Every structure is written in structure tokens, then in C-alpha cells.
Amino acid sequence: MHSPPPQAKDPARSRDRGGDPDALWFTAIRHAAFFLLLGASLVRFLLRHPGEPRIPWVAALSAVLAGLYVLGSALGDAAVARRRLWLGAVVAVWVVLVVLAPSFAWCAIPLVYTSLHTLPVRAALALIGVLTVFVVAAQISLFGFDPNLVVAPPTVAAMATAVFVHMQRQASRQRALIDDLLRTRRELAATERREGTLAERQRLSMEIHDTLAQGLSSQQMLLQAADRVWDADPLTARAHVRTAVGVAARGLAEARRFVHDLAPPDLDRGVSLGEALRALAGRESTGGLTVRFHLEGVPTPLPGRVESALLRIAQGALANVREHSGATTAALTLTCLDDQVVLDIADDGRGFDLGATHPGEGGRGHGLPAMRARVLAVGGRLSVESAPGEGTVVSASVPSRPSPSSPTSPSSELP
């Protein structure tokens, strides 16, 4: 730990902060106590010793001590050496006053706290010891030897010093804890910003895969098919081009919506999830692939984010079917149960080995991880069943009232 700069070691500057209401209150009480004790001591001396030749000296030194004390308040955040010189002058005048008039010894009480505010702890303890010795000596000179007079002033000084030092250390620890808390809050805010950025990137990645990438793939196949039959069958070629134009229009609508984080266009204007899946099946039934839709059970209203997630999962799964499976038929099945809704996407394609293929490898691309992320985000689970030559079934199940998070998927599900 590095040492603080020299001026930061000044206790008056570090402990008596002008902006702290408690510090201002304590300082005002300390100053008031000093002047009250000084005035009371002077009045007591004048009443007890009328006509003594020491009166002018005591009165003059009392005025000097009061002036020095006021000067110390005016110094404020002056340099350390200047404040210590001031404190030395105050103590010296007080000592002379105590020698001339022992009743001024009680002014040492506020001087104890002034020493702790002005000096480092060890130096303040030494000065407090000197002050205590003078107080004891003054009391003995006034009242004679008494064990209470010998024990009481050191005890009071020790307790006052211990309380003050303890409070200062507690305040220092609290400031350190507050600094740590503020630093932790800044780090947490930075972490949340990073996580938000990553989450948005993942959202865009999944949206692009499930919408634009799928649409571009369909357009490519349609345009390639149109090119192959352009001369031999112009009508069929033009039909492929018109279909590609429709796919491009839907892709443009999807792009505009996922940029603004809106629902898929198939779910706009109160369209149910079943109707949106039926429309998706109809659009995907082109280019040698027939997609059928089945609805089982009585549909129940689902939150918009759940319907969007299931529709995107169906789009992503059909994109995988078209691009990787070589299937001729596929089926979308939406099963509505009492406590959950299950979406199955099955195809009769070539399938793959689950044990040898992981998300993002083996030619499966980004689709399966994106589907899994979507279903987990709405509290559901994703499972995949496939084997070489036996087709593939992707199943997404979500509770009818999904929770924000879901438990870890069992080992039989998609890793």
C-alpha cells in the first residue's frame, strides 16, 4: 500500500471535513466548551483572588489564549507545520496560565480533542499525557493530595482518547467499505454492460440465422432452379422468381422487426401461434420439401415471447431440414397439454449421429445452439432424437406459464 501525500496526513484535514454535518457539530461543541471553561476559570480566579497582583497577567494571558484559539479556527486547512506551531503556542500559554491560576486546568478537556484533531495519534497521546500531568498537579495544589485527584484526570483523559480514536478508526473503516462498495458497483455496472452487449449480439445472431439466412438460402435455391429451367420452361422459371421475390419481402420485414426487437410478422395483428406455424409450413412446402402442420389439444394463450421463441425455433429447424437433411417431408406438431406446450419438428432426412455431432460442429451450424438458447430463455427444454438414415426429431417443450429461467437440461437432451 502506497503512502498518502504529506498533506493527507494532517488529521485536521482528514477528520474534520467541512462538508460533514456531524464534524461541524462536534467542532462547534468543542469550541464552545473551550471558551466556556476559559471564561468560567477567569471568573472563578477573579472572585477568589480579588486585588491580587497576578490579576492583570491572568487576564492578559486569558485574552491571548482566546485570541490564539480563534486564530486556530481561522487557519482551517493550513499546512501541517503551521497548525502544529499554533497548537504548541496554545499549550504553552495554557501551561503558564495553569501555573499562575490552577483553576484554568479544566481547559485541558477541549485541548485533548484539539490535539487528537491536529496531531498524529502517537504525538497526540504524548501531548495528552503532558496535559494530564499539569491537570493533576493543579488540582493537588488547590485541594491537597487526594487519590481521586490523582486517578480521575488520567482516567477521564484515557477514556476520552480511547473513544475518540475508536470512532475515528470506525469512520475510516466505514469510508474504506464505502469506497469498496462504490468500486464494486462500478465493476458490476461495467459487467452488466458487457453482458448486455453479448446478449444483444446473441439475439441478432439467432435472428439472422432463423430469418435472413433461411430466406437467403431459399432464394438461392429458387433462383438456381429458375436458372436451370429458364430456357426450357419459362413459366416455371418465372414462378420460382416470383416466389423468391416473396421470400425477399418477408426477409425484409423480418430484418426491420428484429432490429427493433419486435415480434415476428407471422404473429402480428393477433395471429395465433397455430396459425403462424400453419402459414410457415405452407411457405416451406417448396423445392421438393413438403411440410405439414398438426395441432393437438386445445390451444391456450401464451406470452408473446414464448410464441415468438417457438416460431423462431420452428423456422430454424426447418432451415436445418432444408439445408442439411435431404428430406422430402417434414411435420410441425404443436401439442397443447394442461401444464406445457410441446413443439415437434420431424423430418425423414438422412439424420446424424448425436454422439459424434456437437452444436456448431459436424455441419449442423448455428441452428441447434440458437434453438436451445431460445427455449432456455423462456424456461423450457430442447431435445433432439436422430440416427443416421432415420431422420431427425427436434422437440421444444415449455410450461404453459414459463419461468424466467429453467433448470439444467438432463444428459439425454441436447448438450
Tens digit of pLDDT per residue, the chain (415 long)? 444 444 444 444 444 444 567 667 777 887 787 788 888 878 887 888 787 788 888 888 888 888 887 877 666 555 677 778 888 888 888 888 888 888 777 777 777 777 777 777 788 788 888 887 777 777 777 667 767 667 777 777 777 777 777 877 888 888 888 888 888 888 888 887 787 667 667 766 766 766 677 778 778 888 888 888 888 888 888 888 888 888 788 777 777 766 665 556 666 666 788 888 898 888 888 768 889 999 998 888 888 888 888 988 888 888 888 877 888 899 999 999 888 899 999 999 888 887 765 444 434 455 788 788 888 888 899 999 988 888 899 999 998 764 544 443 333 343 3
Question: Where do we find the cell 497548525?
Answer: 83
Would you state the pLDDT for residue 212?
72
* Domain ranges across the chain: 6-145, 271-415
Would you state the pLDDT for residue 18?
46
Give dist(CA 44, CA 90) in Å, integer: 21
Interstrand relation of 329-336 and 392-399 (parallel, antiparallel or unpaired): unpaired
Fill in the amino acid letter for 118. T
Among candidate residues 279, 292, 280, 289, the one with its CA nearest the CA of residue 225: 289
Segment holding 31, helix H or strand E? helix 21-48
Give dist(CA 399, CA 367) in Å, integer: 22
Would you state the pLDDT for residue 345?
93
Segment holding 161, helix H or strand E? helix 147-207
Contact status, residue 333 vs residue 373, Cβ threshold 8 Å:
no
Sequence-ordered list of residues with C-beta below 8 angstroms from that of 106, at least 6 positions apart, any chain: 37, 40, 41, 135
Contact status, residue 331 vs residue 348, Cβ threshold 8 Å:
no
Segment holding 241, helix H or strand E? helix 234-259
Sequence-ordered list of residues with C-beta below 8 angstroms from that of 356, at least 6 positions apart, any chain: 362
Task: Report, at the CATH architecture level, how domain 271-415 is classified.
Answer: 2-Layer Sandwich (3.30)
pLDDT one-digit tens code per residue, 272-314: 888 888 988 888 887 688 899 999 988 888 888 888 889 888 8
Contact status, residue 98 vs residue 15, Cβ threshold 8 Å:
no
Give dist(CA 140, CA 146) in Å, integer: 7
Sequence-ordered list of residues with C-beta below 8 angstroms from that of 382, at least 6 positions apart, any chain: 313, 368, 371, 372, 375, 376, 394, 395, 396, 409, 413, 414
Would you state the pLDDT for residue 260?
60
Model's pTM, two decimal places? Answer: 0.44
* pLDDT cut 90: percent of the chain above it: 7
Burial degree of 355 (CB within 10 A; 0-12, 13-18, 19+): exposed
Give dist(CA 254, CA 241) in Å, integer: 20
Give dist(CA 285, CA 347) in Å, integer: 13
How many C-beta neighbours within 10 Å does residue 101 have? 25
Residues 236/241/242/247 CA torsion (nearest 10 deg):
130
Percentage helix, strand, coil for the chain under 3-state DSSP, each rounded to 5: 65, 10, 25
C-alpha cell at 402: 414459463
C-alpha cell at 32: 464552545
DSSP conformational letter for 285? -
